């Protein structure tokens, strides 16, 4: 089967971006959205076709084979170290193609309605196309360097879209924050790439993850501070992934990124870009699992802590998009945990499969949640849940789809979230009981805060609206319905046959002993939320008062931002930047200024000699001749 046509999937969004970007002034505004959306539907169809042909092919002995559909040499650095650009198709990237293009297509369609009448409508679609292009380039990268390039492109498009409302200072600040934090993390990624390629002499994923390759087969024995160089490199690479996936302590940019338009949050900051870290670890998974298990342990703890931490904060936030942002953090934490508890190959690779399964389902239900929230915001013109309530009658479609999404994320069978979360819990249970307990608890908290959100928006007391909220237009509700259906059925995709750590199918068993408690705690969470928030009551306030210290800390996101500010402003700026600036201003600049000033002063002192008086010149000349004659005749 020839997959060369997948190049179209990659290049079509780029062409759209360039076209929309260059012609933004000439094009009729309404056309931009239609062009962008039509493009996305084309590539979504192509991606689904690719996935269908790829997964229905006869899997060989070694499972699904990775195919390089396209490959060109880009930078031959040395004879051996060559950077290629290409398209790699394996179960992982094909799955990602489907997720990205489907969600992106839905978001594009939704945006036509959501962004209607906004200033910069064409620019918005151009940036969305750029993002889609970058994200697709990232997932089909054949080598880690290509991935890095698209990784940065994704960061740039995220920056551009967060700062879309550039007249708003908070949006500008948020975009800068997102860019700087992820760039800082990418520093680790880059250093990791350099170490890894220096030690292995290759950038290719296929070599890096091959069982006989230089990373796994002939692991270098060089060690640094008790860990092997490979472990360090993979840890640094994970740092980049943690930055993009907003893992603690690099998570601070994601809640602020909600300043961007809501569909952007749905696409970038929920479904696709923030899972790039998960994708990165999954892409290099054999290397992590077989040559750096210590790194995997770190990933497991970071993921687990982030999921608990974010879930607690999510319970206290009032801005509905921020609740969803922290929920995203928490869910990505789940995926990281699943990778962390996984082993390589066959049954041991359950966690790997579960992680990507959860990535797959999460993309749909979280995008649905964001788009639903966007629909609500569109109707109410506010982000705060205190200004919402009782919307279930006026917005029936939004209400129903939102309910489906909430049930999905809470893990109620037979919705997709239940299956993927259940797999993660099983994998965690087999690996580490403590982690399992934490994740089980987080499942309950998740159910609680999601239904807190649900009840506050759609039930509770109806506040006085400026004008009666009404259901969103069809272009917005159709994506909601599509994603709701996807959320329901995504759980039935036989992932263990398709996307596994060694690309070979394996059998999974269903464990009621794990699923039972997880359903139970989810139901408890939902019921608690219903008890507290379904009707107006004083109970939430009473509880938050009784937990005042913890509540305030969680409401202020445990002061992580303030700690960062303290470290940067009071320590780095004060004790490092100031002296460096002083040194630069006074010593470095001073030297240069001194040289310049002395030249100027010297010329000012001697320029009087150039007086324009001919006689003076003659005198210089004559006395010079005399002195020279004297020197030559008598002084040698």
Nearer to other proteins, 588 or 626 (CB): 626
**Nearest partner of 322 among 635, 66, 9, 554, judged by Cα:** 554
**Nearest partner of 134 among 173, 161, 163, judged by Cα:** 161
619 contributes a contact to other proteins by CB under 8 A: yes
Q: How far is the CB of 574 from other proteins (least distance, A)?
A: 48
613 contributes a contact to other proteins by CB under 8 A: yes
Q: How far is the CB of 595 from other proteins (least distance, A)?
A: 21
629 contributes a contact to other proteins by CB under 8 A: yes
Q: Which of residues 583-612 bind other proteins (CB under 8 A)?
A: 607-608, 610-612
Mind giving me the DSSP string for 567-588? IIIIIIIIIIIHHHHHIIIIII
Stretch that binds other proteins, among 242-250, 263-271, 559-567, 626-634 (CB under 8 A): 626-634
CB 142 within 8 A of CB 205: yes
Stretch that binds other proteins, among 293-301, 424-432, 455-463, 623-631 (CB under 8 A): 623-631
Nearer to other proteins, 464 or 633 (CB): 633
Distance separating the N- and C-terminal Cα atoms of the chain: 93
Q: What's 460's DSSP letter?
A: S
Q: How far is the CB of 597 from other proteins (least distance, A)?
A: 18
Q: How far is the CB of 596 from other proteins (least distance, A)?
A: 18
Nearer to other proteins, 512 or 634 (CB): 634
**Nearest partner of 103 among 411, 368, 402, 472, judged by Cα:** 368
Q: How far is the CB of 615 from other proteins (least distance, A)?
A: 6
Q: How far is the CB of 614 from other proteins (least distance, A)?
A: 6
Q: Helix, strand or coil for residue 629?
A: helix
Q: Which of residues 544-583 bind other proteins (CB under 8 A)?
A: none
Number of residues that bind other proteins (CB under 8 A): 16
Q: How far is the CB of 629 from other proteins (least distance, A)?
A: 6
226 contributes a contact to other proteins by CB under 8 A: no
- Return the number of other C-beta atoms located less than 10 Å from residue 624's C-beta: 10
The binder of other proteins chosen from 56, 548, 615, 636 (CB under 8 A) = 615
| Nearest-angstrom CA–CA distance, 11 and 134 | 10
The binder of other proteins chosen from 434, 524, 622, 631 (CB under 8 A) = 622
**Nearest partner of 517 among 450, 636, 426, judged by Cα:** 426
614 contributes a contact to other proteins by CB under 8 A: yes
| Nearest-angstrom CA–CA distance, 6 and 8 | 5
Q: What's 387's DSSP letter?
A: G
Residue whose structure tokens are 């310049």: 596
Q: ω before 41 within 30° of 0 (cis)?
A: no
633 contributes a contact to other proteins by CB under 8 A: yes
628 contributes a contact to other proteins by CB under 8 A: no
| Nearest-angstrom CA–CA distance, 131 and 371 | 18
478 Cβ contact partners less than 8 Å away, ≥ 6 residues apart? 109
Instruction: Give the footprint of other proteins on this chain (CB under 8 A).
Output: 607-608, 610-615, 618-619, 622-623, 626, 629-630, 633
């Amino acid at each position: 089967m020839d997959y060369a046509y997948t190049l179209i999937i990659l290049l079509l969004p780029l062409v759209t971006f360039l076209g929309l970007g260059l012609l933004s002034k000439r094009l009729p505004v309404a056309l931009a959205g239609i062009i962008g959306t039509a493009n996305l539907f084309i590539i979504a169809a192509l991606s689904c076709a690719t996935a269908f042909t790829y997964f229905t092919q006869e899997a060989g002995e070694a499972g699904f084979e990775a195919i390089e559909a396209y490959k060109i040499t880009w930078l031959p650095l040395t004879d051996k170290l060559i950077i290629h650009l290409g398209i790699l198709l394996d179960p992982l990237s094909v799955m990602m193609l489907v997720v990205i293009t489907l969600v992106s297509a839905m978001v594009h369609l939704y945006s036509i309605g959501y962004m209607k009448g906004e200033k910069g409508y064409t620019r918005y679609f151009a940036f969305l196309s750029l993002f889609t292009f970058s994200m697709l380039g990232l997932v089909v990268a054949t080598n880690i360097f290509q991935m890095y390039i698209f990784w940065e492109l994704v960061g740039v498009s995220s920056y551009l879209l967060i700062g879309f409302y550039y007249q708003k200072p908070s949006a500008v600040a948020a975009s800068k924050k997102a860019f700087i934090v992820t760039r800082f993390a990418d520093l680790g990624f880059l250093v990791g790439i350099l170490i890894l390629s220096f030690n292995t002499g290759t950038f290719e994923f296929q070599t890096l993850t091959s069982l006989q390759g230089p990373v796994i087969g002939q692991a270098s024995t060089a060690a640094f501070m008790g860990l092997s160089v490979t472990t360090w490199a993979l840890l640094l690479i994970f740092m980049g992934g943690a930055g993009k996936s907003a893992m603690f302590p690099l998570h601070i940019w994601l809640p602020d990124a909600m300043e961007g338009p809501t569909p952007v949050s749905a696409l970038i900051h929920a479904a696709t870009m923030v899972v790039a870290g998960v994708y990165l670890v999954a892409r290099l998974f054999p290397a992590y699992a077989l040559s750096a298990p210590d790194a995997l342990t770190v990933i497991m703890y970071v993921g687990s802590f982030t999921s608990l931490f974010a879930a607690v904060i999510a319970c206290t936030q009032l801005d509905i998009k921020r609740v969803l942002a922290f929920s995203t953090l928490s869910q990505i934490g789940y995926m990281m945990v699943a990778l962390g508890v996984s082993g390589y190959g066959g049954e041991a690779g359950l966690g790997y499969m579960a992680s990507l399964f959860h990535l797959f389902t999460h993309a749909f239900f979280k995008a649905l949640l964001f788009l639903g929230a966007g629909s609500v915001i569109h109707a109410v013109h506010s982000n705060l849940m205190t200004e919402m309530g009782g919307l279930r009658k006026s917005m029936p479609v939004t209400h129903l789809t939102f309910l489906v999404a909430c049930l999905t994320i809470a893990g109620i069978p037979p919705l997709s979230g239940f299956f993927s979360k259940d797999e993660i819990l099983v994998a965690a249970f087999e690996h580490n009981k403590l982690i399992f307990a934490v994740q089980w608890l987080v499942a309950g908290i998740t159910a609680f805060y999601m239904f807190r959100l649900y009840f506050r928006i759609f039930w509770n007391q109806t506040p006085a609206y400026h004008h009666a909220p009404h259901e969103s237009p069809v272009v917005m509700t159709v994506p909601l319905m599509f994603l709701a259906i996807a959320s329901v059925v995504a759980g039935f995709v036989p992932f263990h046959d398709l996307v596994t750590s060694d690309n070979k199918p394996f059998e999974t068993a269903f464990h009621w002993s794990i699923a039972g408690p997880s359903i139970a705690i989810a139901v408890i969470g939902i019921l608690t939320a219903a008890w507290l928030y379904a009707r107006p009551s004083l109970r939430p306030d009473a509880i938050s008062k009784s937990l005042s210290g913890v509540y305030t800390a969680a409401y202020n996101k445990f002061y992580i931002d303030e700690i960062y500010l303290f470290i940067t402003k009071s320590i780095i700026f004060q004790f490092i930047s100031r002296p460096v600036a002083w040194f630069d201003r006074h010593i470095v600049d001073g030297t240069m200024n001194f040289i310049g000033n002395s030249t100027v002063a010297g010329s000012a002192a001697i320029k009087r000699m150039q007086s324009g008086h001919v006689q003076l010149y003659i005198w210089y000349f004559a006395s010079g001749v005399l002195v020279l004659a004297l020197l030559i005749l008598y002084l040698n």
